[in-house]
Structures are given as structure tokens and as C-alpha cells.
Amino acid sequence: MTEARARFPELLDRVRAGDWQMIGRRGRCEGVLADAEDLGLLLARCCPFAPQVFVEEAAVGIYLDELDVHGAGATLEEAQEDLIDATLEYIEAWRDHLHAAPNHREHVGHVRRLQMAVDREGIARVLFGAEGAATESR
């Protein structure tokens, strides 16, 4: 780790050139420096989202099977905002304690993908953009 800290600018240059850099101690990889765009593309391919929209008489609901969360509202936009709130709460709980639960550990890719989205607008693009369009059910 001391060597990695001393060589950090060089390691970043290697990442910019397309090489992922493994960092660790005593011959064990404990971390990776990787290009964020490459990692985002990889996560998008292996961890897609497929929100399901349910339209009822007075409400719209959206279910996100990948994290077992849902949002609801009087309109699609309200339901989307509610789902983003529920997703942010899940990410917080995952970071706090769910990451260690066997039935939530498998969500690591989806959680990391949303964390890379950085803000609400980015999360909305990941969940509802061209890469993860919602499917409607009645």
C-alpha cells in the first residue's frame, strides 16, 4: 500500500491508458483502480434494471425487482420520484448493514451501479433511461 501511495500518479496514468491496477498487501488484491466509464459499462451489462410500472385507477406503482423496492404516486413522475427515494434508502441500508446479509449480498453490482450514478438525476437515468426502460403491467 505504501508503494501504491507513492506511485499513485503513475497508477492513474496506467488506468487512463486502459489498464486496471490491482492494489493490495502481502500478495492479496484488496482493491482495484479502474476507469469509471469501463466499470460503468460492465455494470450496465451484468446488472441491468427493469422497473415494472403498474397503473391502477387512482395510482401508479413501480416495482424494482432487482432490489425489491417500490415507489407509488398519483402520476408516473411521482411514482418515479418515490422509487428513487426508496432506492436511495436501500443503498444507505445496504452500505450500513445489508451488505453483510446473505440475501442482500447478491445486490452488490446493482448497488455499486447506482452509487456510480452519483445523484438523483443519474439514478433516474440508470433506472428509467434508454438502458433501463420501465415495462407497464395492468
Residue 68 pLDDT: 95
Would the pTM count as exceeding 0.75? yes
What mean pLDDT, rounded, does the chain reach? 89
Neighbouring C-beta atoms of residue 16, cutoff 10 Å: 9
Kindly give, in sequence order, each residue whose CB lies less than 8 Å from that of residue 80, ignoring residues fewer than 6 positions away. Answer: 62, 71, 73, 124, 127, 128
**35-81 pLDDT per residue, tens:** 999 999 999 999 999 999 999 988 999 999 999 999 999 999 999 99
For the chain, list the domains and their CATH numbers. 2-34 (no CATH), 47-137 (3.30.160.620)
- pLDDT tier at 1 (50, 70, 90 boundaries)? low
